[in-house]
Amino acid sequence: MIYLLLSILSSSAIYVVFKLLDKFGINSLYAIIINYFTACVAGYLGLERTFSVEDTLAQDWIIGAGILGVLFITVFNLMALTTQKSGLSAVSVASKMSVAIPILFVIFYYDEPTGFLKIFGIILALIAVYLSSVKTKKGIQLEKNTLIFPLLVFLGSGIIETLIKFLEQNYVAKEDVALFSTSVFVCAATIGTVAGIIQFSKKKIKFTYKEILGGIALGIPNYYSIYFFIQALRSGMPSTTVFILNNVAIVLFSTLLGIFLFKEKLLRKNWIGIALAVVSIILVAFTTR
């Protein structure tokens, strides 16, 4: 349970840093690039065994780690596009509702048992995520020509968590969790650097110390959110429980942080979402015992 709690806290810290990046006008792409390099350093410092480049490239999970690195960058850019086309609520709902994908994968692929209370808790959790994430009275307004963007965010986010589960279950040894996580961020950092160079060549946006500080502040919790999430998946709790508790608790805690740190105003539906989130957490946690 401690790993799950640390994963939730790390992911919620990412939310706070992103809010601060926006508040201080920090270029998000540059900060994201520095974030990945920071995550690489954090992972290197946390390695539990010696390694070499040749040894790392020979690991069974290396291709999967590379795919995850590509997905990290791709989904980030899709989220930015979705925000522009459909709004922040659409991004939030699409990314968090994607938890349905790894849950279905675990239930059908690994034949993980579920009971009525747990299924009811999962349904409540999905409703809670939607209600907590939508910040407009009219709900999410989507147009046919822009529907593809939130759909891709939904699929991409779900595939990331599903692939993490598959790799950690089948290929990543206990002593390789830090090396695996670091390898994912190395790939993401490489692709992000190329994207940053392209942006600079087109828009000539300056790189300042603020991006460095923002990237470092983002990279540390970003690395540990993945590291602790993997450790939570192998802690002995059912994976469906980990997925639900992790995602719903992040939404709940991030919402509360938004209220207390950034004075965000919530609609009635958001408060209903928070209440349902608490109930769903209790139900899912209760059925784990």
Instruction: Give the DSSP letter string of 132-150.
Output: HH--STT-----GGGTHHH
> Could you give the residue ranges of the DSSP H alpha helices within the chain?
2-23, 28-45, 53-57, 62-86, 88-97, 100-109, 116-133, 148-170, 177-203, 209-233, 239-262, 268-288
Distance CA 161, CA 226 (A): 10
Interatomic CA distance for residues 252 and 60, integer angstroms: 36
Who's near 173: CB < 8 A, 6+ residues apart? none
Sign of the CA dihedral 30, 133, 240, 281?
positive
Domain boundaries, the chain: 2-288
Q: Which amino acid is located at 79 in the chain? A: M
3-class SS of residue 61: coil
pLDDT at 24: 87
CA dist 214 and 148 (Å) reads 30
* pLDDT for res 246: 92
Q: How far apart are CA 266 and CA 135, in angstroms?
A: 7
CA gap 169, 108 in Å, rounded: 15
Q: What is the pLDDT of residue 93?
A: 80
154: tokens are 């939904």
32 contacts 215 by C-beta, under 8 angstroms: yes
DSSP symbol at 176: G
Taking the chain, what is the end-to-end CA distance rounded to the nearest angstrom?
Answer: 12
- Give the model's pLDDT for residue 288: 59
pLDDT of residue 216: 95
Q: Which residues in the chain come in under a pLDDT of 50?
A: none
Cα–Cα distance for residue pair 13/119, rounded to 1 Å: 29
pLDDT at 84: 67
- From the list 69, 93, 100, 67, the residue with the least C-alpha distance to 79 is 93
Q: Are 212 and 35 in contact (CB under 8 A)?
A: no
Q: Distance between CA 100 and CA 89 in Å, rounded?
A: 18
The residue count of the chain comes to: 289
Tell which residue, 224, 242, 233, has the closest CA to residue 167: 233
- Which of these, 158, 177, 171, lies nearest to 230 by C-alpha position? 177
